A = this chain, B = another copy of it.
Amino acid sequence: MSGRPVRVCTTRRAERTADTLERLSRDVDLWVASASDDGRAYLVPLSYHWDGSTLTIATPSASPTARNLIRAGWVRAALGQTRDVVIVEGRVAAISIGADPELEDAHARSTGFDPRTLADEYVSLRIAPKEIQAWRESNELDGRVLMRDGAWLE
């Protein structure tokens, strides 16, 4: 026994990136944080569509999330589990419902709901990730950054 603490083995970046891409493809919901211009935080779960490089959510135009994200042009969102975290930060572009039928079809297939069939006015919000982090528990906080400035790290 050397007395040296056992080094906790963490998942390598290539594996974390592969796991994260798989989570983005397979998961349906994410937590969307947003803020008003006077610094009031908001948080809701929403379903999303992942097309391999961007996430699309749809929410009522009058909702705090739509207002906040359109104002900021930026989102911080998290997939699924508190002990298997994927945090996505990125730019937000608003797309009026009806403007991109192909995207709306894909969103409806992925999320199981189609805002075109609803009475409320919705807006599509397309998120282009700029930074992605993934970790399970605190021992994996080192090496959690997988994407920076929109590029997956090698």
A residues whose Cβ falls under 8 Å from a Cβ of B:
29-31, 33-45, 68, 71-72, 74-78, 80, 82-83, 85, 87, 113, 138
Contact = CB atoms under 8 A, between A and B. Distances in A.
Contacts of A87: 43-44
Given A80-B82, A82-B80, A43 B31 contact: yes
A41 B76 contact: yes
Given A29-B82, A30-B82, A82-B80, A35 B43 contact: no
B41 A68 contact: yes
A33 B44 CA distance: 10
B31 A72 contact: no
Copies of this chain: 2
A31 B75 contact: no
A114 to B, nearest CB: 13
Q: What secondary structure prevails in chain A residues at the interface with B?
A: strand
B76 A42 contact: yes
A45, A75, A87, most chain B CB atoms within 10 A: A45
A104 to B, nearest CB: 18
A129 B85 CA distance: 25
Contacts of A43: 31, 33, 43, 76-78, 87
A41 B78 CA distance: 12
A42 B131 CA distance: 13
